[in-house]
Structure formats: C-alpha cells, structure tokens
C-alpha cells in the first residue's frame, strides 16, 4: 500500500518553508528525490533523508552535508524539522511518516514539493508522456545549455553534461520531467506542457484510457490561457487530451509534432537510419531548419527531438542553438547507454519496462548488430526484468510480441517494487509463453552466465528493466558500475 499525493499547493508549502529550519526526505535515494534534496540544500536549509540502500547517490548526498539514514526510524527526524517530503511509494506505516504526523510536522508529497519549487521560475517546461520523458527532458537540457539560457533542470535520469539528474541555473527557465503516476503531474505548474504520448500504463492506478486522457487534459490545462501545449500529432490519445484543454480555453495554443505527417507544425523530412542512428531534416512551420544527426539509436528518438525543438522554440531559443543542441545530445543514463564490451560484444543498459518502449528500443538496437566473422548475421541478446506483477499481468499479451527483434531473450524474476504476488504471473511463465528463444534465469548472475555462453563479436547485448536488473550488467562488466 502506498501513500497518496498531497495537494497543498505553493502558497501553503511556502508558509511551511518560512517556518522551517530543516527538511527531511523519506526515500531520498531516488533520482528525483535526491535532486529535490540537493536543491533544498542550495536554498540554505539543513536537510536529512532516509533510504533503504546505500548507493552512489546517497553517498553524494552525504558529501553535500545531508544527514543520511539507512533504516527508517522515528528517531531520524531532527528536533527542528519543519517539513517532511515523501515519495508515494512509502507505506503509511513508515515510522518517519507516522512520527511526523504525531509531532504535527507538515508532510508533503514529492510532486507537491516540486510544484512549489518551480513557481519561482518564469518559463516552466514540463515533459509528460508514458515513454521518453527522461530522454526528451535531457534533449531540452542540452538545447538550453547550448543556448546559454542558464536553465534549471530536474530530470528522472542522470545526464552527463549536467553532472547528474539536475542542474541549478537562473530563474528564467525551469525544465522538468512530469511523472503521471498517481496524477503526480497535476501538482505542477507548466507554462509549456509537452505531451509525448499515452497508453495504458501504471495499471495499479489508471484503470482505463479515459482516466488517462482526462489526466493528460488536466495537465495541459495547467499551462493556462497564455500557455502552450506541445503535442504528438501521431498519438490520438494525447491529441484528444490537448484538444480538451484547448476547447476549455485552459491552454493558449497547441504546437504539434510528427515524424511523417506534414500537417504537424514540427515534422521530420528525408529520414535516414544510418547503422541504427536517425538522421533527418527538421521542418518547423513549413520551413526547413537543417539536418539533425542523432547519436542515440532508434527511429522513435525523432519524436523526442521534435518535441524538445518545439518547446525550445516556444521559449524563444534560436533555431541554430536548437539544431546544435540536438546534434550534441549524447543520451541519458540507462537509455540505451553503452556500458562497455565483454568478449568483443557491446553491452547497453536501458530503463525500458513497458512493452511499447521495449519493442521500440529493441528495434533500434537490432540495427546495431554486425555480421559475425563467419558471415552469419549478428544477434540481439536481451536480458529483461519485468517490473511489478500488475503491469506484467495487465500487459501480458503485449509482452509476448515486445521482444520480436531479439534473437535471444533472458528473463529474470519480476521486480516486485511496491507489490506482492497476487496476479499469478512470473518470468518463468512469460518465457514459456514466448517460446524457444526465451530463457528463464531467476537471478542476475545466472542470466549473465547464459549470456556469456551465447554472445560473440557482432552481437549486441541489451540489459533492460526498471528494477535491479543492472546487476546483470555488473556481472557482465564488473568494472562498469
């Protein structure tokens, strides 16, 4: 069981902060929570936090003067604690959460707190969608950084040019990843809302597509009558949401993007895929801006490019800086991130865990394979860890075809996250349903052993999932993580 989002809003949270001397973060080790904690330190507050696992992220927090705790306890809350920020994934019985309520300390959810922080910035670009948020946010970051726009950025993934998952800049531009889970993004305050796409996801919260369309329409509406919604012309779900917001006059205008459809305001022309990497001419409002050569694989990446370009243009970034930024983009952590070679085979690490993003990513990865020494075709080997029982069960049929591009599939046990096994699904069952190319290996070391026996030069290895599947990469490349 998780804890609901709060909806206190910027004014009330501002009152909390005016009386606070220190802020405590429950579940501080996550990418977004750690970034919020660091931003709070930069604002001059004493900060503490707890998480179950000691990681490089938590060690960085400790080096920044944040008091870290690796067991949840009521005693972790300092005497002068004025605010507790939590992730909705925690249990209502979390001892720090319970103690805060008993002591009368205000508690706000991560998204509510982020909504408060962003209101001090004039232009606020929120990147929403079931897939591609971190990549598109990182592309926006590269564009704005190249343009010397001094942005503040908060992403869901580490991006090397920022030196982490966040970048502290001036008070003009705030670029942020807007997570839809449990309607968290409805606590945000974008002036430019990007809608990359929507489909059935987070099935432990969203019950059907109508609920999802309504939520995305509400997010677009947060831009206000002077705001902008940048929407994927090729996705009927988010187009429906955007038009609802426009009809209600709660967003000012729509800017559309599409790979192929020339009716869209931003589209791609003369698309080529060079050894897996897209190259295209960016067309905006009927004018060709120039060629873009991406250094990340997959045709689907063009959508993220076009969305980032449209948002940057809406914020007044010049065309040359937009093209330069897209050309300089090098990929965010765990988004088809090259980790190194084992036995002459490149290993990539990817966060994909929904069938749609798995399928698209593997289609791009397949194009990176090269022939073996004997002339036979190089193979795509994928190690995948399903994320949560509910997602695996609800999207089971889609998972059966998501791995079509892979020649060998290794499935490790489902990462339970916040759930217990009540759905009757397993990785062993999924492997049996997919067929001969799928192999069930319960643990990361077992998966790595099988992969090492299979792989040969010319193949490509992709390690995918949102849980602890990176342990497979660690076994394959002990010095990589």
Q: At which of 294, 328, 362 does a domain end?
A: 328
One domain for residues 361 and 305: no
The reply to whether 178 and 293 lie within a common domain is yes
Give which of 231, 244, 156 is closest to 197, Cα–Cα. Answer: 231
* DSSP string for residues in 399-417: HHHHTTT-SEEEEPPPB-T
Q: Is 481 among the domain residues? A: no
Residue 143 included in any domain: yes
Q: Give whole-number Cα distances, 388 to 156, 421, 424, in Å.
A: 19, 9, 12
Residue 225 lies in a domain: yes
The answer to whether residues 178 and 309 belong to one domain is: yes
Q: Are residues 126 and 271 in the same domain?
A: yes
CATH of the domain at 58: 3.40.50.720
Q: Is residue 2 domain-resident?
A: no
Do 183 and 266 lie in a common domain?
yes
Helical (H) or strand (E) element with 396:
helix 396-402
Cβ neighbours, 10 Å, residue 269: 13
Tokens of 458: 């010319």
Structure tokens at 332: 């965010």
Q: Which of 307, 328, 349 is the last residue of a domain?
A: 328
CATH number reported for the structural domain that contains residue 413 in this entry:
3.90.190.20
Residue 104 C-alpha from the chain's centroid: 34
Q: What is the pLDDT along the chain (481 residues), one digit of tens a residue?
A: 578 899 999 999 999 999 899 999 999 998 889 989 998 998 899 999 999 889 888 999 999 999 999 999 999 999 999 999 999 889 999 999 999 999 999 999 999 999 999 998 999 999 999 999 999 999 999 999 999 999 999 998 899 999 888 898 988 999 999 999 888 899 999 999 999 999 988 888 899 999 999 999 999 999 999 999 999 999 999 999 999 999 999 999 999 999 999 999 999 999 999 888 999 999 999 999 999 999 999 999 999 999 999 999 999 999 999 999 999 999 999 899 999 999 899 999 999 999 999 999 999 999 999 999 999 999 999 999 999 999 999 999 999 999 999 999 999 999 998 788 888 999 999 999 999 999 999 999 999 999 999 999 999 999 999 989 999 999 999 854 4
What is the reported pTM?
0.86
Same-domain pairing of 164 and 292: yes
- Consecutive H or E run containing 220: helix 209-221
Q: Specify the pLDDT at position 481.
A: 45
Q: And the tokens for 376? A: 């036979």
Whole-number pLDDT of residue 479: 57
Indicate if 316 and 342 belong to the same structural domain: no
Q: Say whether both 189 and 142 belong to one domain.
A: yes
What's the gap between Cα 43 and its chain centre? Answer: 25
Please work out, in degrees rounded to the nearest 5, the angle formed at the alpha carbon of residue 239 by the alpha carbons of 391 and 241: 70
Same domain, 136 and 279: yes
Token digits of residue 295: 């250094």
Answer whether 212's CB lies under 8 Å from 141's CB.
no
Return all residues near 335 (Cβ < 8 A) that are at least 6 apart. 134, 135, 138, 157, 296, 350, 351
Residue 3 located in a structural domain = no
Residue 114 lies in a domain: no
Query: For residue 227, what are the domain limits?
Result: 120-328
Q: Which of 289, 308, 328 is where one domain is finished?
A: 328
Q: Are residues 273 and 346 in the same domain?
A: no
Same domain, residue pair 451 and 391: yes
Are residues 293 and 145 located together in one domain of the fold?
yes
Tell me, yes or no, whether 4 lies in a domain: no
**Structural domain count of the chain:** 3
Secondary structure of 59-113 as H, E, C letters: HHHHHCCCEEECCCCHHHCCCCEEEEEECCCCCCCCHHHHHHHHHCCCEEEHHHH
The enclosing domain of 167 has a CATH number of 3.40.1190.10
């Amino acid at each position: 069981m998780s804890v609901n989002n709060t909806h206190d809003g910027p004014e009330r949270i501002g009152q909390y902060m005016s009386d606070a001397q220190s802020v405590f973060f429950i579940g501080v080790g996550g990418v977004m929570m750690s970034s919020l904690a660091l931003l709070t330190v930069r604002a001059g507050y004493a900060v503490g936090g707890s998480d179950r696992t000691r990681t490089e992220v938590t060690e960085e927090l400790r080096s920044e003067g944040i008091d870290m705790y690796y067991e949840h306890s009521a005693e972790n809350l300092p005497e002068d604690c004025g605010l507790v920020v939590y992730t909705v994934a925690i249990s209502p019985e979390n001892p720090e959460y319970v103690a805060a309520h008993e002591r009368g300390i205000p508690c706000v959810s991560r998204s509510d707190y982020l909504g408060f922080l962003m209101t001090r910035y004039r232009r606020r670009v929120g990147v929403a969608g079931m897939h591609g948020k971190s990549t598109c946010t990182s592309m926006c970051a590269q564009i704005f950084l190249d343009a010397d726009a001094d942005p503040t950025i908060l992403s869901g993934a580490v991006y090397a040019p920022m030196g982490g998952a966040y970048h502290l800049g001036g008070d003009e531009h705030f670029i942020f990843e807007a997570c839809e889970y449990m309607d968290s993004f409805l606590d945000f305050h974008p002036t430019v809302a990007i809608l990359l796409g929507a489909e059935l996801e987070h099935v432990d919260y969203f019950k059907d597509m109508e609920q999802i369309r309504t939520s995305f329409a509400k997010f677009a509406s947060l831009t206000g009558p002077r705001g902008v919604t940048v929407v994927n012309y090729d996705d009927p779900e988010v187009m429906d949401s955007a038009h609802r917001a426009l009809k209600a006059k709660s967003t000012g205008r729509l800017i559309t993007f599409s790979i192929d459809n020339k009716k869209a305001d931003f589209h791609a022309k003369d698309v080529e895929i060079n050894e897996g990497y897209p190259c295209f001419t960016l067309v905006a409002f009927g004018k060709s801006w120039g060629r873009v050569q991406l250094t990340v694989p997959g045709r689907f990446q063009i959508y993220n490019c076009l969305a980032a370009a449209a948002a940057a243009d809406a914020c007044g970034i010049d065309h040359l800086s937009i093209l330069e930024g897209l050309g300089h983009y090098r990929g965010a952590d765990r988004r088809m991130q090259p980790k190194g070679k084992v036995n002459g085979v490149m290993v990539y690490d990817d966060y994909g865990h929904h069938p749609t993003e798995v399928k698209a990513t593997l289609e791009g990865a397949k194009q990176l394979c090269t022939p073996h020494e004997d002339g036979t075709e190089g193979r795509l080997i994928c190690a995948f860890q399903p994320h949560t029982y509910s997602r695996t069960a609800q999207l089971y049929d889609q998972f059966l075809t998501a791995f079509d591009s892979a020649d060998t599939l290794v499935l490790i046990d489902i990462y339970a996250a916040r759930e217990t096994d009540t759905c009757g699904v397993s990785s062993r069952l999924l492997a049996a349903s997919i067929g001969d190319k799928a192999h069930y290996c319960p643990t990361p070391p077992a998966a790595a052993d099988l992969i090492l026996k299979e792989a040969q030069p010319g193949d490509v290895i992709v390690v995918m999932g949102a849980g602890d599947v990176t342990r497979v990469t660690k076994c394959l490349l002990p010095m990589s993580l």
